[in-house]
Amino acid sequence: MGRGVLLTSNLPQLQNLIKRDPISYKEEFLQQWNHYNSIRQIFSINPDEQAHHFRELVSFISQVATCYPKETAQFPSQISSLLLESYGILSPDTRKTLIQNLIMLRNKDVISSIDLLKSLFPLLSRTSSSSLRSYIRKTILSDIKVANQKAQNHKLNRGVQAMLFTMVERGMSAEVQGDKGKLKAVNNPTHDRESNGADEAMWAVVLTKELWKKGVWKDAKSVSIVAQGCFHPVTKVQSASLHFFLGSEEPEEEPDEEEVSFLIFLSIDRFSKSPTQEVDVKSLHHRREINKKTRSGDKKLAKQLKTAKKKKQHKTPSSPNFSAIQLLNDPQTFGEKLYDSLNVYDKRFTLDHKILIMQLLSRVMGYHKLCVLGFYTYVVKYLFYRQLRVPSILVALAQSVHDLTPPDVITPIIRKLSQEFVHPGVASEVIAAGINSIREVSRRQPWAMEEDLLGDLVEYRKSKDKAVTAAARGLLRLYREVNPSMLKRRERGKEAAMGLASGSAPLPYGYSAEAAVDIEGLADRLQLLEDHLKQIREEDGGVADDIDDDAMWEGWDVESDSEPDSDDGEWINIDSDDNEDLVISDSDDEAQVKKAASNLDSESAQGPHISSLATTKILTPADFALLNDLRLKAAARAVETSGSTTAKRKLAALEALKAHSSEQPTQDEFISENDILGPRKKAKADYAERMASIQKGREGREKYGSRKGKQTKSTPSSSTNREKARNKPLMMILSSGAVRSKKKASLRDKQQRLRAHIERAKKAGH
């Protein structure tokens, strides 16, 4: 009797004994289990009653749940239901205890990862504690990362991605408020807080971006989640999704309570801030001099200065997320929806948000060579030199043009740029930006330029401004390469004139240089592979005539969308005796293929040689990997034998291609604002740059400085008379000559003294 009372009142001791011998203490556990069920029913009615004891019982059962799996089979679902259904009325300590024990059950493999995540995802948007929210977030990310550490857990990834996509899609039917209409929803007291699903969608996008950044998810399904967020009615979710594709920097700290609540519209749009925005160090020092001097103020200032210094050291230019843009599903529809959002809600979005959409739309159009012709009509109204952030708009315009864009659509754009930016009534920087913009557009679609306009723009190379001259010369060099016939004879240059004399002319819009006969560069590679396979057959004595293609596909299989245990996509064996009509002979096809291959071999003297492998064998990923290795070996042998510069360059290019095996678009496809603005004069240094330059100049020059009045000298000396005058009492200097002369000074003298003071201040830069 005494032992039972002792164990009932001391749950940690009972927990220790159960883990050592579960069978002997099963009755004591069942007693606590029945006690838990009784308190759980009371707790569901009145959560404040016996809350402390309920938390102790939950922790106890979670620790020993693996010892009695049958008895505690319903325990995880009870905890999860209590969290999801009664989260709002639970105390903070109870919430934290239930979540921690639910995670403990996952660590003990009592529940699966998908069951845990189903319970944690809804809690992210409902919790008001920043520490608990951070704990839930880290748990979700670490659980998915560990599950994919050794190999991709496709089943878990598909389940989690489906939940995240549902979280984003849940609020898609709401009305778009935009940045400018954010106060409308706040002033509406009847508006449902969860109607738009802003909090859930925001967390879905944030988690997907974190998993992409950590390299856990790199597939098209995760890209589709963020792509869906680009059309969410809440501007905050839209902005975060757009930044994912643009690759721009964002704050690393997690969203606070305001950002994931419905009052998201009142908070500062941190995701819409420019990534180049820096801390104003001068204003921090000035504010410190004015405010009251306290120790806490000194600590805050030191912390802010340290943060500013760290940002300045680690600041890197943003680059587009190439792989995410490449994995977009149906880019044409995605681009059209972006343009519709930009056009329909033009008056509801701020300029910064519209520029974000323009940048993403232009990069998708340029990379996938899309034709969203309405975008060029929309962007015309922003093409004037007084427009805010016009360099970013010009960059977006240039990136959206490609060789398949109709020239008739781009010609009015170029004419508008020349009329607004290139004329004597604007500054030289504006003219340079206009010519550079026209050059970047013409580089992608040369046929959009008019001959008379080109002649006028090229004349600006005689300007006295360096930036304008460089821009005009760049445009001249471009058309010397792409279409010298549009230039005047004296402007074409020697090489272009010789090319025109020989009869070479640029192809019209939509024409290709030659018909596609073979895969570019594949003939030589296939010849290497064919020789390699022939050598293997000779070494085997002619036994291995055919190589098993199924073995070559091992390790290169692409993930199937169906479950491993499903029958979808599998071959169905058909009995040929029962289905005589389905017997198909491919001997005729094989004969035709071999005949065509022999004809190609016999006609090799009449045209370029095409390897028979291209028509008789299906190349596997292993074949392509072998091709790359064979090309490297052949290039290395060429360098050893000849040692020519061309061979060395080819070897270096192949090695670089192997290091970056995943094909990525080059940076030349995307331009920056510096390409539009061109070379500029050195801007005036700010306070921080001047102080840094001064400190740099003082390094190593201590022995040349003045030691007058400094206490660090070997022989201390007194202070100067100027320093003594500053510290004199007021009554001692009232009768001095300097003070009396100021009192007796005439109005003219005071005006001259004041004017001299103002001039000195201007020269000092204050």
- pLDDT of amino acid 576: 44
Mean pLDDT of the chain: 79
Nearest Cα to Cα of residue 373 among 406, 416, 417, 414: 406
The span from the CA of 272 to the CA of 202, in Å, is 14
269, 229, 275, 276: which is closest to 349 by C-alpha?
269
**Which stretches within 247-370 are classed as H helix?**
281-290, 295-313, 322-326, 331-344, 351-368
User: Which of the pair, 287 or 488, is modelled with greater confidence?
Assistant: 488
pLDDT more than 90, % of the chain? 43
pLDDT tens figures, 141-153: 999 999 999 888 9
pTM over 0.85: no
Arithmetic mean of pLDDT, 742-754: 90
What's residue 646's pLDDT?
Answer: 77
Higher pLDDT, 131 or 183: 131
CA–CA dist 208, 165 (Å, integer)? 10
pLDDT (0 to 100) of residue 586:
47
pLDDT of res. 233: 92
What are the backbone angles phi and psi of residue 577, rounded to the nearest 5°? -70, -35
Among 50-64, 114-128, 191-205, 333-347, where is mean pLDDT lowest?
Answer: 191-205
Q: Which of 398-412, 652-666, 743-757 has the lowest mean pLDDT?
A: 652-666
pLDDT recorded at residue 98:
94
Question: pLDDT-based confidence at 697, cuts 50/70/90?
Answer: confident
pLDDT at 209: 94
Higher-scoring residue by pLDDT: 69, 291: 69
- CB count in 10 Å sphere of residue 756: 10
H or E element that contains 666: none
- What is the pLDDT at residue 262? 27
Comparison of pLDDT for 87 and 48, the residue scoring more: 87
In angstroms, the Cα distances linking 424 to 389, 419, 429, 477 are 22, 11, 12, 23
Give the model confidence (pLDDT) of 419-436 as tens digits.
999 999 999 999 999 999
The tokens for 391 are: 């360099």
> What pLDDT score was predicted for residue 283?
78
pLDDT band at 414 (very low <50, low <70, confident <90, very high): very high
- Give residue limits of the domains in the chain: 1-111, 406-502, 628-660
pLDDT interval class at 555 (50, 70, 90): low
pLDDT at position 567: 42
pLDDT at 446: 94
- Taking 60 as the threshold, does the pLDDT of residue 749 lie above it? yes
604-653 tens-digit pLDDT: 464 455 556 656 666 666 676 777 777 788 888 888 887 777 777 777 77
Q: Cα 46 vs. chain centroid, distance in angstroms?
A: 47
Contact criterion met (CB below 8 Å) for 239 and 229: no
Q: Which of 451-465, 499-513, 687-701 has the lowest mean pLDDT?
A: 499-513
pLDDT band at residue 582 using 50, 70 and 90 as cut-offs: very low
pLDDT of residue 325: 92
Distance in angstroms (rounded) separating the CA atoms of residues 226 and 305: 35
Lowest mean pLDDT segment, chosen from 224-238, 306-320, 357-371, 687-701: 306-320
pLDDT on residue 708: 59
259 pLDDT higher than 70: no
- Cβ-in-10-Å burial (0-12, 13-18, 19+) of 236 comes to buried
Between residues 412 and 526, the one the model is more confident about: 412
The pLDDT of residue 97 is above 90: yes
Residue percentage of the chain with pLDDT more than 70? 73
Token digits for 244? 């994912």
Tell me the mean pLDDT in the region 12-41: 91
